[in-house]
Structure 1
Amino acid sequence: MRITSRKAVLSGLAMAGIAAVLAGCAAAPDATKTTAAASKYLPCMVSDSGGFDDKSFNQLGLEGLQAGAKAIGAKEKHVESNADTDYAPNIDSLVAANCNLIITVGFNLSAASLAAAKANPDIQFAIIDDAADANFDGKVDEPNIKPILFDTAQAAFLAGYASASYSKSGIVGTFGGMQYPTVTIFMDGFADGVDYYNKQKSKSVKVVGWDVASQKGSFTGGFAANDTAKSTAKNLIDQGADVIFPVGGPIFQSAGAAITDSGKDIALLGADADVFNTFPTYDKLYLTSVLKGIKTATQAVVEASAKQAKGTFDNVPYVGNLKNNGVGIAPFHDFASKVDPKLQGELDSIKADIISGKITVKSYLSGN
C-alpha cells in the first residue's frame, strides 16, 4: 500500500538498517523482583517544550517514570523544558544530580541526549520516540542510550478504518505539529487505513491534510495549542472533513475548539493518550484515540535498568506494536452507539491480520 516516493523521502532514515536493528526488537523489558540496591537508584526525566502537563506525550512519560520509581522503591527527579534551549542544560542538571538513568522525552532532544550519553558513559540514558541514530546507519549511536519507539502506523491504520466507516461526508482529515517521522507515521497509517476501508467496502472516502504519495500536508510548525493549530483544523473543516486527526501533543485541543466553534457534527481523534480521559473538555467529540504505551514502556525500562549491573545496559530498542500491546486504539466511549454495530468486529479481525502479517502496515519502523 506504500509507493516508492515515500521510501525516497525516508531514505535518510536508513530504513533498511533500522529494520535490521529492530528485527528482533525487545518487547517491554521484564519487570521482576526489585533488589535492595534499587532503592538507591535514581531515575530521571527531561520533558520537551510541550511540558509535563500536555495531557499527552510528556505526561505519559512522567507517569511511567513515577510508576517505575515506585515499583523499585526509589525516588525520581524530573525537569521541564520551556524551550529548545533548555534541553542540554536540563540534561546537564540531572547529570550533576547523580541520576543513574536519564530519560528524555521526544525526538527534539536527540542531539542533546546523544551528546550527554557520549560525555557520560557511566550514566544510562533512554529516549522516547527517537532511534538515537544521528549517523543514519541503523545502529544506536551510543552503547548507553536505549530508544523507546512505537510503530503507531499499525494503530492509526485501525483508527483510519474506523474514521472512514463513521464519516458521513466521505471526507476525513489529519494534520501534524511538525513533519518528523514520529508524527507522519501516524498520518501514513491513518491514510492507509482509510484506503483499506475504501478497498474493502468499494467506497471513496477522501483524506485531506496529508498525501501519502508526496509526503506533503498540513503542519502547524510546532506542538503548542494555539491559533495556528486552530486555523489548521478549521481549514480541514472548511474542506468538508467530519473526522479530524491532529498529531502532535496538545494541538488536538485547538482542533476541539475549532470544531466547537463550527457548530458542525465533527468527530475528533486523539493521539498518544486516550484524550477522553486525559482532557475531557471535548469528551463528546472524541471518536477514539491512537494510543502509545508510553507509560508502560517507560516504567518497564526504569525497572529493567535498575536491575542491570554496571556495564551491562541493554540498549536494544523497545518497539511498541499491536502484537506486544505497545500501541492500540481507545474505546469509542460516547460514540459506541453511533458507529456501525459491525465496526468493532471488523477492527478486531484487522488487528489480528496485522499481527499475523496477513495485512502489512508499512512504516519506517517496520522496514516495509
Structure 2
Amino acid sequence: MKKKRLMAAISAIAVATTMFMGCGSSNNSAKSGDSATKENYNVSMVTDTGGVNDQSFNQSSWEGLQQLSKDVKDKNVKVSYLESKQESDYATNLDKAADSGCKLIWGVGYAMADALTNAAKKNPDVNYAIIDNSYGKDTLSNVTGVMFKAEESSFMVGYIAGKTTKTGKVGFVGGQTSAVIDEFEYGYKAGAQYAAKELGKTIEVQSQYAQSYNDAAKGKAIANSMFSKGCDIVFHAAGGTGVGVIEAAKEANKFAIGVDRDQAYLAPKNVLTSALKNVNVAVENLSKDAMSGKKIGGQTFTYGLKEGAVGIPEKNDNLDKKVYDDTMKIQDEIKAGKITPPASKDSYEKFVKDLK
C-alpha cells in the first residue's frame, strides 16, 4: 500500500514538473503551439526632444514599432522607447537601450547623429538606425541611415497653398535650422511659386524658425505674427512647436498645413492638408528586414513619392476639389521626373529662375 502511494506521489510530481516547464518556456505557448522555438527580439527607439507624443515624427516612429510588434508572428517582439528631454539625454538613453539587450535601436532625428555614432562604436554587435540622417561613406557597418524626400510632399502642399490663398501671402514655420528642414522650406516655397506662375500672380512666402521642436507657445506666437501680416495659410515643419501653429490657425480662423502625419484631427476646420512623411512605414519595414537577417547596416535608405513614403492625405472638406485634383497631377509629374522639387536654397533659386 505504501509502495502504491509512493509511486502515485512520484507520478504527480513528474506531471507537475512537466506542466511547469511547459509554461515557463513561453508566455505565448497557448496561442502558438510552437512558441518555444520563437526567438526574442527587442527593438527600442530614442526620441529627440520633441517627445513621443509630439503629434509628428517621434509619434509616427513609435506607431511603426507598435505595428511591428503586432505583425511579426515568428518572434517574440518587444518594443519600447526612451524619451529625451534635452540633447544631453541622447547618449544616456542610447546606452540604456543597449544595456537592456536591444538588438536594434532607432534614433529619431538628425540631432542625435553624433551620439548614435559613438554608441554604435561601443556596441558593434548592436544594430542602430537613425531617422533623417545620412553618414554617407562614413556609415558604420552596424548603422543604417534613413532619409525622406520631404521636398516632394512640401512642394505639393506649397502648390496647394498657392492655389488656395486669397491674400497672396503664406507662411512657413521651421523647427531648427538644418539641411533636413531646408527640404520642407524650399520645397514649399517652390510649390507656391509654381502655383503663382500658373495663376499669373505674385505670392509672398514668409519664413521664420522657432529653433525648437517642443515649444508650442513660440510656434503659436510666430504664426499669429504671420497671420497679422496678411498670411492666410501657414505650413509648419516644427514637431511639437507646430502644434502651436495649428492652435493659432484655429483661433484666427485661418488655415494651417500639418506635417509628417495627417494633422487634421488637431483642428478639423482649420487644417488645409498635411505634408506626410510616413516614418512609421520605414521604421516597421527596416526593422522587419533586420529581424529576418537582411543586411541593412552600412548604408542609407531614401524614401519618397515613388516608395509611398511621402505625399498628402486624401482631400478633406477644407480643400477645394479642383485644387486637390490639380495637385494629384503635380504628384504624377514629380514621380515621372518632370518636376524636381528643390531641397536647398541654391536649388530653389535655380528652380525659380528656370520658372521665369
Cα deviation 1:249-299 (Å, max 9, x = unaligned) = 12222112323443xx411100111112xxx34221000000011011100
- Mean Cα displacement is larger for which, 244-253 or 67-76? 67-76
- Decide whether aligned partners of structure 1 residues 313 and 255 sit closer, same or farther in structure 2, where only a CA change above 3 A counts: closer
Partner of 1:55: 55
Partner of 2:91: 88
Partner of 1:244: 234
| Residues 128, 148 of structure 1: 8 Å contact kept | yes
Deviation at 1:88, TM superposition (A): 0.5
- Mean Cα displacement is larger for which, 222-231 or 97-106? 222-231
Partner of 1:64: 64
Say if 2:296 is the partner of 1:269: no
Say if 2:100 is the partner of 1:97: yes
**Which structure: greater helix fraction?**
2
Partner of 1:111: 114
Say if 2:47 is the partner of 1:44: no
Partner of 2:210: 220
Q: Residues 249-264 of structure 1 correspond to what in structure 2 (within 5 A)? A: 249-262=239-252
Deviation at 1:360, TM superposition (A): 1.5
- Decide whether aligned partners of structure 1 residues 38 and 203 sit closer, same or farther in structure 2, where only a CA change above 3 A counts: farther
Structure 1 counterpart of 2:88, one-letter code: T
Q: TM-score, normalised by structure 2?
A: 0.82
Structure 2 counterpart of 1:327, one-letter code: V
2:339 and 2:225 mapped to 1: Cα distance?
33
Deviation at 1:86, TM superposition (A): 0.9
- Mean Cα displacement is larger for which, 79-88 or 185-194? 79-88
Deviation at 1:361, TM superposition (A): 1.3
Does the residue aligned with 1:69 lie in a helix, a strand or coil?
helix
2:87 and 2:259 mapped to 1: Cα distance?
22
Does the residue aligned with 1:42 lie in a helix, a strand or coil?
strand
Partner of 1:175: 173
Say if 2:278 is the partner of 1:293: yes
Does the residue aligned with 1:121 lie in a helix, a strand or coil?
coil
Deviation at 1:170, TM superposition (A): 0.8
| Residues 258, 274 of structure 2: 8 Å contact kept | yes
Partner of 2:352: none
Deviation at 1:355, TM superposition (A): 0.9
Does the residue aligned with 1:40 lie in a helix, a strand or coil?
strand
Say if 2:313 is the partner of 1:333: no
Deviation at 1:362, TM superposition (A): 2.3
Say if 2:287 is the partner of 1:302: yes
2:37 and 2:47 mapped to 1: Cα distance?
27
Partner of 1:354: 334
Does the residue aligned with 2:78 lie in a helix, a strand or coil?
coil
Cα deviation 1:68-118 (Å, max 9, x = unaligned) = 233224111221111111110111011111110000100111111011111
Unmatched tracts of structure 2, length 5 or more: 1-34, 349-356
| Residues 95, 119 of structure 2: 8 Å contact kept | yes
- Decide whether aligned partners of structure 1 residues 288 and 37 sit closer, same or farther in structure 2, where only a CA change above 3 A counts: farther
1:335 and 1:97 mapped to 2: Cα distance?
47
- Mean Cα displacement is larger for which, 77-86 or 153-162? 77-86
- Decide whether aligned partners of structure 1 residues 120 and 166 sit closer, same or farther in structure 2, where only a CA change above 3 A counts: same
Structure 2 counterpart of 1:335, one-letter code: N
Does the residue aligned with 1:190 lie in a helix, a strand or coil?
helix
Q: Residues 109-258 of structure 1 correspond to what in structure 2 (within 5 A)? A: 109-131=112-134, 133=135, 138-209=136-207, 218-258=208-248
| Residues 57, 273 of structure 1: 8 Å contact kept | yes
Deviation at 1:185, TM superposition (A): 0.8
Deviation at 1:38, TM superposition (A): 6.7
1:185 and 1:36 mapped to 2: Cα distance?
48
Cα deviation 1:344-363 (Å, max 9, x = unaligned) = 22112111111111111122
Does the residue aligned with 1:302 lie in a helix, a strand or coil?
helix
1:130 and 1:38 mapped to 2: Cα distance?
33
1:343 and 1:152 mapped to 2: Cα distance?
20
2:323 to 320, 337, 343: 343
- Decide whether aligned partners of structure 1 residues 154 and 261 sit closer, same or farther in structure 2, where only a CA change above 3 A counts: same
2:132 and 2:36 mapped to 1: Cα distance?
31
2:306 and 2:266 mapped to 1: Cα distance?
32
Partner of 2:23: none
Cα deviation 1:217-237 (Å, max 9, x = unaligned) = x11111123332221111211
| Residues 292, 320 of structure 1: 8 Å contact kept | no
1:324 to 307, 312, 321: 307
Unmatched tracts of structure 1, length 5 or more: 1-34, 210-217
Partner of 2:18: none
Deviation at 1:198, TM superposition (A): 1.4
Structure 2 counterpart of 1:291, one-letter code: L
Which one has a bigger Cα radius of gyration? 2
Structure 2 counterpart of 1:247, one-letter code: A
